[in-house]
Amino acid sequence: MGNTPRSLSELAVYLDAELVGNADHMISGIADLQCATSTELSFINQESYTQHLATSATGAVILNADFAEQYQGNKLVVNNTYLAYAKVSALFESLSTLAVGIHPSAVVSESAEIDPSAAIGANCVIGECVRIGSGVRVYSGVSVGDRTSIGENTLIHANAVLYQGVTVGSGCIIHSGTVIGSDGFGFAPSRDGWRKIHQLGGVIIGNNVEIGSNCSIDRGALGDTIIQDGVIIDNLVHIAHNVKIGKRSAIAGCVGIAGSAIIGENCTVAGAVAINGHISIADNSHFHGGTIVTKGNTEAGVFASTPPMQDVKKWRRNSVRYTQLDDMANRIKQLEKQLKTLLPEDSVE
């Protein structure tokens, strides 16, 4: 990992790519095609970017066979350029190192079980009966509540908060500012105001889950909030109590999912989607940005709502017409009835 230079022959083996060019050429990083230097690697997966190939100073390009003939320099030819880029990016990760062991400023309960290969950063707080697996990296200022479990090789960035009774699987990444296990929004109305319903469940996060920065995942009211294996969640997402998200689903930024909603496997939820509570979404469902999901579905599909952006004058006219739709529908029904009385029965479909 890090910025260790790699030869193109090494990268070709790692990516299972066809190497054309100098196998001994060394690569120390990845950069945009227009900005790359001779020691950096670029990639191209769209026709529109081929115009930059002739002038690029890049050391090598990852591309597929369709574009290979358009570049005469060093190249790694693959079937899926974007996937290859994702894989090779892991080799040049620039995340600062964290020394194995527990930083002297960390506050760790005596009952916590921390694997000797784990790294606990400065000013972390680790609660009672916490279990932290091998290879875990916990950066500075992270708070881990009592009875929480963190699986092997999970990475938790600075200032994230895990409340009590949270389970995080192996190979996960949790970004800064995210809070996992906060109380769900449960209150009972009374004559004296709102009476809090204490949230007694937990949060269970599967393996290889990535959660972006400043997300909030609430604990269950009685049972657990569950995020299954391979789910990816962008920044600024709110997941309410007792929500369940199926394997390999992807949730983009600024999404809100209300309590007890069930999202199936392999779903994609684009930015700013709002999902109602107590509904079920079928596997392989896909929602365009800004969609308001008020009811569940039982079959896979692609869904969208809300009108696209338009000129404000046109939007105002359309907004007025929208309020008139019910009246217009009633008038059409009345006209249809009148039409039936005026025309012979066999002439009206």
Please identify every residue annotated as catalytic. 241
Which amino acid appears at position 320 of this protein?
V
Distance CA 290, CA 305 (A): 7
Distance CA 228, CA 119 (A): 25
- Maximum Cα interatomic distance, the chain, rounded to a whole number of Å: 92
| Helical H segments across the chain, by residue range | 8-15, 65-68, 81-89, 312-323, 325-342
17 vs 14, 39, 57, 66, 69, CA distance in Å?
A: 8, 19, 21, 14, 16
- Count of all residues that appear for the chain in the document: 349
Q: Are 24 and 91 in contact (CB under 8 A)?
A: no
Distance CA 271, CA 234 (A): 9
Distance CA 207, CA 347 (A): 65
